[in-house]
């Protein structure tokens, strides 16, 4: 497991653990859809999957998937509990992954816990690795925006972006986007809505493309406070 910083209420993918001499249940077969959980009644997700549980600072995390990672390793997707904040448990916490039938466990001490480390979701554009192309949908039609279907700067179009690492208590009132224009200048943009998605640990952000972006063809976006990571949105 990595000792990279974690944030409360955030989904983390492909956390690798080495499992030697233990065969997990068939639900963790990579090609088997059983390895991915389904939302339970009243929105509850499991804290035990394929006999694997994860605890962050002693609190059970939601486990969304367990998959073979090659050799003796498996990858685990889990969500840090929203209540595990630096104010509640301290800035350094242990993360424990446990195989419940055997009692075998893998533990990392002193993992840094941050209040937030926001990062917008993106996907690799054709012939370009960094920055990623924003994973962006028109709201409310949910039509995808990309380089071939650009966002109009008509002042009425609303765009939905996806973000992880926001931390707890985020609303449209305390969250802003930052747009970096072609000349390198940065423009703060208000957000109309911050909400949950169907997948825990990932939030949606909806904003209106206004006149400040008029004349731009490619703008980099980040969430205020997370300006070390940018995604590109293509405009017309």
**Residue 172 confidence (pLDDT) above 90:** yes
| CA gap 86, 166 in Å, rounded | 14
**Residue 26 confidence (pLDDT) above 50:** no
What the block records as the tokens of 8 is: 């409360």
**The pTM is what?**
0.82
Sorting pLDDT into bands at 50, 70 and 90, what band is 127? low
Would you mind telling me the total number of residues written for the chain in this entry?
236
SS3 call for 218: strand
For residue range 74-117, list pLDDT tens digits in order.
888 889 998 899 999 999 999 999 988 888 888 889 999 999 99
SS3 call for 192: coil
> 9-13, 67-71, 141-145, 197-201 — which one is most confidently predicted on average?
141-145
pLDDT confidence of residue 177: 96
Which domains, and CATH codes, for the chain? 11-112 (no CATH), 119-234 (2.60.40)
**Residue 218 confidence (pLDDT) above 90:** yes
Sorting pLDDT into bands at 50, 70 and 90, what band is 213? very high
The CA-CA-CA angle for residues 190, 196, 201, to 5°, reads 110
| CA gap 182, 233 in Å, rounded | 12
pLDDT confidence of residue 29: 35
SS3 call for 43: helix
Give the DSSP letter of residue 185: -
| Ramachandran category for residue 187: left, alpha or beta (phi over 0 → left; psi -120 to 50 → alpha) | beta
């Amino acid at each position: 497991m990595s000792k990279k910083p974690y944030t409360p209420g955030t989904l983390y993918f492909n956390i690798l653990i080495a499992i030697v001499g233990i065969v997990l249940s068939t639900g963790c077969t990579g090609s088997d859809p059983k390895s991915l959980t389904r939302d339970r009644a009243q929105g509850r997700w499991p804290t035990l999957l394929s006999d694997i549980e994860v605890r962050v600072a002693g609190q059970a995390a939601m486990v969304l998937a367990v998959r073979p990672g090659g050799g003796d390793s498996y990858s685990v997707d889990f969500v840090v509990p929203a209540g595990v904040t630096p104010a509640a448990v301290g800035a350094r916490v242990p993360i424990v992954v446990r195989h419940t039938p055997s009692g075998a466990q893998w533990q990392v001490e002193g993992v840094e816990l941050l209040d937030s480390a926001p990062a917008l979701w993106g996907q690799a554009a054709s012939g370009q690795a960094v920055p990623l192309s924003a994973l962006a949908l028109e709201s409310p039609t949910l039509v995808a925006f990309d380089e071939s279907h650009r966002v109009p700067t008509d002042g009425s179009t609303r765009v939905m972006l996806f973000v992880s690492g926001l931390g707890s208590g985020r609303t449209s009132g305390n969250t802003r986007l930052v747009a970096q224009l072609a000349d390198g200048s940065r423009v703060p943009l208000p957000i109309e809505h911050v909400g949950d998605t169907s997948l825990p640990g990932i939030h949606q952000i909806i904003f209106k493309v206004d006149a400040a972006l008029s004349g731009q063809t490619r703008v980099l976006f980040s969430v205020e406070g997370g300006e070390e990571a940018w995604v590109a949105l293509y405009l017309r």
